[in-house]
Amino acid sequence: MHEHQDEPLLASGQPVPPEAMRPPEPPDGLRERVLARTLPYVRRRAGRRRALVAVGVVAAYAGGLATAALFAPEAARPAPESVPVAAAPAPTASPTPAAVAQEPLLPDELLLDPERFALLLQESKPERRGELLRQAGDRWLDVHGDYERAVNCYRQFLDLAPPKGVSDLQPQDNWLLRSLKLARLQENRHENASI
C-alpha cells in the first residue's frame, strides 16, 4: 500500500486525536453578544411582517366598503316581498299637473303582457318610449326581481338614447342601469379607438 507523503499526520502512523476534529470553543460571552446584537433585527423584521399583514387586511376591508358604497342604490329600497300594495285611489274631479307627473306611466298589468307593451312602445313617441323602457326596467328589477328582463329593457332604453345621454349618469339610476351605461361607454371608446 502506498503512503501519502503530503499528509504527515497519517504518514507518521499516529492516530488523529478526537479533539483535533472538534471546532474550537467560542470565547466566553460571544454567544450572548451575538444574540444581543441580532435579536433587535429579528424582532423588527417580525414586527414589519405583522404590520404589512395588518395593513393588507385593513386595505382589503376598506376596498370592500368602498365597492359596496359605490354600487349601493341611492335610497334603500324595501325587498320585493315587503312592498306594500296600496289600494287604487278614488278618482278625483280633475288631477293637478303635479299629480299627473307622479302617476306611473306603466301599469303593472301592461308590463306583464308583452304584446300590449310592445304595441304601446310602437305607438309612443321616441322620448316617451325611452321613459317607458326605463320605467319597465326599474319595475322588473325592483318589484319583480327579474334581472334578465330589466337588462333587456335598459339596453333598449340605451339604444334609443343619444350617445351623450348614455354617458350621463343620473342620480335616479340604479346600480344595474349605471353598470350598463358604463359598459356602453367603454364599448363606444373601444370602437372609436379601433377606427
What's the pLDDT tens digit per position in 67-97?
Answer: 887 776 655 444 555 444 444 444 444 444 4
Range(s) of the domain holding residue 156? 106-194
Shared-domain flag, residues 110 and 187? yes
Shared-domain flag, residues 123 and 45? no
How many structural domains compose the chain? 2
Confidence band of 166 (pLDDT split at 50, 70, 90): low
Shared-domain flag, residues 114 and 181? yes
Give the residue ranges of DSSP H helices in 89-169.
97-102, 108-111, 114-123, 126-142, 147-160, 163-167
| Cα gap 152→121, rounded to integer Å | 14
The share of the chain scoring above pLDDT 70, in percent, equals 72
Shared-domain flag, residues 190 and 127? yes
Q: Which residues contact 74 (CB under 8 A, 6 or more apart)?
A: 171, 172, 174
Confidence band of 11 (pLDDT split at 50, 70, 90): low
What's the pLDDT tens digit per position in 109-154?
Answer: 877 888 888 888 888 888 888 888 888 988 888 888 888 999 998 8
Is 66 domain-assigned?
A: yes
